[in-house]
Amino acid sequence: MVTTAGYEDTLQVARSFCPGGLGGWVSFVKKPLLAPLELTIGAEERMAADGSTVRELDEDKLRADLEALYARGEVQALTICFINAYINGAHERRAREIAAEIFTDTPISISSEVVPEMQEYERTETTVVNSYVRPEVAKYVRNLQAALEEKMGGDTQLSILRSDGGLASARGSAESPVNLLMSGPAGGVSGAIYFCSRAGFDNILTFDMGGTSTDVALIQNSRARVRRETIVGDVRVRAPSVDVRTVGAGGGSIAFVPELTRALRVGPESAGAVPGPACYMKGGEEPTVCDANVVLGYLPSDVQLGGKMDINREASVAAVQKVADAMGIDLMEAAEGICKIVNESMFGALRLVSVEQGYDPRDFALVGFGGAGPLHANALGILTNAWPVIIPPGPGVLCAYGDATTQVQDEAARTYLTMAGDLTDEQLLADLRELQQRAGESLVADGIPEAEHEVSYQADLRYAGQAFQITVDF
């Protein structure tokens, strides 16, 4: 990583926050940095907060430092993130030109293009994450594009879903993979919007239950809520994504009875696809939510799933019987208890995106999809009082269907460090036109003619003294 001299420890210092409450620092172990300090160099340069130049970029020193870094032979991707580059990225762009002369085959990401927003730590971390995954994503996209062209012809255009629910071109995906991190759940939301809007339901709660987890989201007026930051593992990424909440409850979630409490628990541990639930007969022996559904008869064992896969009810009975014996209840009570507990867990997630955000679930329809979603949708409809409960066609592949029904999109952003009253209409309109031009040029480069462009605007606003912002459409 290349940063402004004196700010090499930005990732290490982070936000000086330790998870786990007041005593969290006792056991907190910081994860290794994605950009190690020994591979970080400081460039002699400085931009002021208003975008003016305080110190010109020392190109000779930067070139010498980059050559020394290249000689180590350890760099797979390069990040350039200078202080205040979000307001003026001239030094970053020049540093990229110099770096490209040395790192000729190495992808280079600069923060003023990846996330041109204030707050240096979040901007640095997001750009580093983009660089970290960029080589592998670029290789994958390149290989996939080549395979599609070989099979379908040379004019095949590849698009990949973004975390915010829009599509990105192959070029955009390879250059900014940080925007793809949460694309899987976003596909289900896009598919649900597509089907439900055509059925006359614009306000919906989506409920995507798979094998290991469940993703839920709230859709209002056929538009998904989008959040500006996403936490992936221990990394906070400043990239827009559909506001999807996830809980560790799925068809493969394992049910167990702790010896200490003797109270039934379900998840978050999962049997996964291999060995999977006991009824799959692939070596799994632990009782799962899927096995409970088989015992209750919700999943029939006398037919093949998809015309190919057999379900072994005896194996499910043997697995769920372990729970029944541990609790001193009969088999059907144990199976019903497993389903009730996992339903309550998913109900809690639905409350997070509705009640705790000020929305009444009774004003929304509930859409159940995913491999296990339709099995539990009616129960969750009763718990939430959401009506009707909708099961779309092909619920197990709705995420893929959503990918095929959404549109290519791009966004551009700018940060203002000013009071709203000091911002003139002329300046605002000029900057909006610039943002529209930047996003439009990206779409044109991806083959989308300007006549087909649709433009929308959002502003993240905060009162003086606030540390958080509210997103307003206009």
Please give the pLDDT value at position 288.
96
CA atoms within a 13 Å half-sphere pointing along the CA-CB vector of 367? 32
Mean pLDDT of all residues in 448-463: 87
More confident call, 320 vs 474: 320
- Quick check: 43 pLDDT over 90? yes
SS3 426: helix
Q: Looking at the 3D structure of the chain, how many domains does it have? A: 3
Q: How far apart are CA 188 and CA 283, in angstroms?
A: 30
SS3 268: strand
Whether residue 19 is found in the same domain as residue 128 = yes
- Quick check: 308 pLDDT over 70? yes
Most confident of 69-73, 92-96, 153-157, 448-452: 92-96
Whether residue 108 is found in the same domain as residue 213 = no
Domain that holds residue 448: 410-474
Whether residue 372 is found in the same domain as residue 305 = yes
User: Minimum mean pLDDT among 274-288, 336-350, 378-392, 393-407: which range?
Assistant: 393-407
Please give the pLDDT value at position 451.
86
Is the distance from CB of 253 to CB of 292 less than 8 angstroms?
Answer: no
Q: How far apart are CA 311 and CA 328, in angstroms?
A: 27
Please give the pLDDT value at position 445.
82
Residue-wise pLDDT tens digits, 207-220 = 999 988 999 999 99
Whether residue 420 is found in the same domain as residue 360 = no
Please give the pLDDT value at position 324.
95
Residue-wise pLDDT tens digits, 56-83 = 999 999 999 999 999 998 899 999 999 9
Query: Would you state the structure tokens that stand for residue 177, as one six-digit string?
Result: 């993979």
Q: Which of 130, 147, 164 is the last residue of a domain?
A: 147
Q: Is 68 left (phi over 0), alpha (psi -120 to 50) or beta?
A: alpha
Please give the pLDDT value at position 98.
96
Residue-wise pLDDT tens digits, 339-353 = 999 999 999 999 999
Whether residue 304 is found in the same domain as residue 343 = yes
Residue 189 in domain = yes
Residue 178 in domain = no
Q: Which CATH number is 344's domain given?
A: 3.30.420
Which amino acid is residue 338, in one-letter code? Answer: I
Please give the pLDDT value at position 458.
86
Q: Which of 373, 406, 439 is the last residue of a domain?
A: 406
Average pLDDT, the chain: 90
- Quick check: 21 pLDDT over 70? no
pTM: 0.83
- Phi, psi at residue 383, to the nearest 5°? -65, -40
Residue 158 in domain = no
Q: Pairing state of beta strands 78-81 and 2-4?
A: parallel
Residue 164 in domain = no
Whether residue 329 is found in the same domain as residue 367 = yes
Whether residue 316 is found in the same domain as residue 367 = yes
Whether residue 89 is found in the same domain as residue 213 = no
- Quick check: 404 pLDDT over 90? no
Residue 196 in domain = yes
Please provide the size of the chain in residues. 474
Q: How far apart are CA 206 and CA 189, in angstroms?
A: 7
Whether residue 333 is found in the same domain as residue 425 = no
Q: How far apart are CA 104 and CA 467, in angstroms?
A: 41
Mean pLDDT of all residues in 416-434: 86
Residue 464: how many CB atoms within 10 A of its CB?
6
Helix and strand counts by DSSP (H, E) for the chain: 14, 22
Who's near 127: CB < 8 A, 6+ residues apart?
79, 80, 81, 109, 110, 111, 114, 115, 178
Is the distance from CB of 137 to CB of 247 less than 8 angstroms?
Answer: no
Whether residue 127 is found in the same domain as residue 82 = yes
Q: Which of 406, 424, 450 is the last residue of a domain?
A: 406
Residue 162 in domain = no
Mean pLDDT of all residues in 226-242: 84
- Phi, psi at residue 434, to the nearest 5°? -65, -45
Mean pLDDT of all residues in 365-369: 96
Confidence category of residue 227, pLDDT binned at 50, 70, 90? confident
Whether residue 86 is found in the same domain as residue 139 = yes
Whether residue 318 is found in the same domain as residue 418 = no
Burial (CB count within 10 angstroms: exposed 0-12, middle 13-18, buried 19+), residue 323: buried
Percentage, residues of the chain above pLDDT 90: 53
Who's near 88: CB < 8 A, 6+ residues apart?
47, 51, 52, 53, 112
